[in-house]
């Protein structure tokens, strides 16, 4: 159990701090590799959709039907699933457009001006962007942690998928903060720190949920995790992949992600 706990927390930390990778890319590359991002985001969506619908949702249903009965268990499963969707949708709704992580940035946006604008209003806006993405990442941390704690074979690909989709979010934090301050170190620091919301979500999940964990709580959490990840995939990852897309690269990535997830689940059975 201790080994699983450390692994789950480590995976969540790794996934969250991938925002720093996006920040580094913004500073040390001159153009955005749109083909790579389109493929990677599509792959991430494929992994998350497949594992949510084929594995996590089913495990949640089995746990809830076993703890309750056929009717109540099925209703509780779909309630948790759509409840997870509602949670992440509400978070998105209350994040203003300029701070929403779905508003994509490219490296070119940073290099478009050699002189950053020094303005306290822009600084507040840039800082708010980092805060908004941190709030958005919080439930992702809970999803990664609980999945990895329950089943490390599920947690590893989920953590990788979350990490991939955090890379463009790191760019989205760095660009406005750099414009506001002219300070690359500050932009990187806030981008890096915004990713800490995911391991914080893991800590909250551990202390608030784990002491009361039983089949019912586990089933509701897992069905909620499935809902969160499907919503993120449909509302964030796939639209972002299509914005970066050239030809059908994002769809190829989506299918590849599903294939890799399907094969990996068969290999660990």
The model's pLDDT over 225-258, given as tens digits with 9 standing for 90+, comes to 889 889 988 887 788 777 766 668 888 889 998 9
Per-residue pLDDT band for 117 (boundaries 50, 70, 90) equals: very low
C-beta atoms surrounding 89 within 10 Å: 15
What pLDDT is recorded for position 76?
95
206 located within any domain: yes
35 located within any domain: no
**Per-residue pLDDT for 196 more than 80?**
yes
236 in a labelled binding site: no
Give me the numbers of helices (H) and strands (E) for the chain, helices first please: 13, 0
Q: What is the domain extent for residue 254? A: 2-29+43-268
Q: Which bin fits 182, alpha (ψ -120 to 50), beta or left (φ > 0)?
A: left
Per-residue pLDDT band for 64 (boundaries 50, 70, 90) equals: very high
Encoded tokens for 189? 């620091």
38 located within any domain: no
Per-residue pLDDT band for 126 (boundaries 50, 70, 90) equals: low
83 located within any domain: yes
140 in a labelled binding site: yes
70 in a labelled binding site: no
- The share of the chain scoring above pLDDT 90, in percent, equals 12
- Of 86 and 47, the structure prediction assigns the larger pLDDT to 86
What pLDDT is recorded for position 255?
93
137 in a labelled binding site: yes
**Per-residue pLDDT for 95 more than 70?**
no
- Of 129 and 15, the structure prediction assigns the larger pLDDT to 15
**Residue of 178, 163, 101 lying closest to 134 (CA atoms):** 101
36 located within any domain: no
198 in a labelled binding site: yes
The residue with tokens 């990788």 is 160
- Of 63 and 130, the structure prediction assigns the larger pLDDT to 63
What pLDDT is recorded for position 201?
84
Per-residue pLDDT band for 96 (boundaries 50, 70, 90) equals: low
Structural domain total, the chain: 1
* Residues written for the chain: 269
Highest mean pLDDT among 113-122, 170-179, 205-214, 230-239: 230-239
Q: Say how far apart CA 18 and CA 33 lie, in whole Å.
A: 17
Which pTM does this prediction carry?
0.70
What pLDDT is recorded for position 29?
54
254 located within any domain: yes
Encoded tokens for 210? 């784990």
104 located within any domain: yes
166 in a labelled binding site: yes
34 located within any domain: no
- The share of the chain scoring above pLDDT 70, in percent, equals 77
**Residue of 159, 154, 160 lying closest to 222 (CA atoms):** 154
């Amino acid at each position: 159990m201790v080994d699983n706990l450390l692994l789950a927390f480590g995976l969540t930390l790794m996934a969250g701090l991938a925002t720093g990778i996006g920040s580094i890319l913004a500073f040390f590359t001159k153009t955005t590799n749109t083909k790579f991002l389109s493929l990677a985001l599509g792959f991430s969506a494929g992994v998350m959709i497949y594992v949510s619908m084929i594995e996590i949702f089913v495990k949640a249903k089995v746990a809830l039907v076993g703890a309750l009965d056929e009717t109540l268990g099925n209703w509780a499963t779909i309630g948790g699933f759509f409840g997870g969707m509602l949670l992440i949708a509400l978070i998105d709704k209350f994040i203003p457009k300029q701070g929403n992580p779905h508003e994509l940035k490219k490296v070119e946006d940073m290099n478009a001006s050699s002189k950053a604008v020094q303005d306290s209003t822009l600084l507040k806006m840039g800082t708010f962007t980092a805060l908004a993405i941190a709030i958005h990442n919080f439930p992702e941390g809970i999803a990664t942690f609980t999945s990895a704690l329950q089943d490390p074979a599920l947690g590893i690909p989920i953590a990788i998928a979350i990490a991939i989709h955090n890379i463009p979010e790191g760019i989205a934090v760095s660009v406005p903060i750099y414009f506001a301050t002219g300070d690359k170190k500050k932009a990187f620091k806030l981008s890096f720190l915004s990713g800490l919301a995911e391991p914080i979500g893991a800590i909250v999940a551990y202390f608030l949920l784990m002491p009361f964990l039983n089949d019912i709580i586990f089933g509701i959490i897992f069905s909620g995790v499935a809902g969160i990840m499907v919503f993120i995939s449909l509302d964030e990852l796939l639209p972002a992949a299509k914005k970066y897309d050239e030809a059908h690269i994002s769809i190829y990535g989506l299918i590849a992600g599903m294939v890799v997830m399907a094969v990996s689940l068969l290999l660990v059975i």
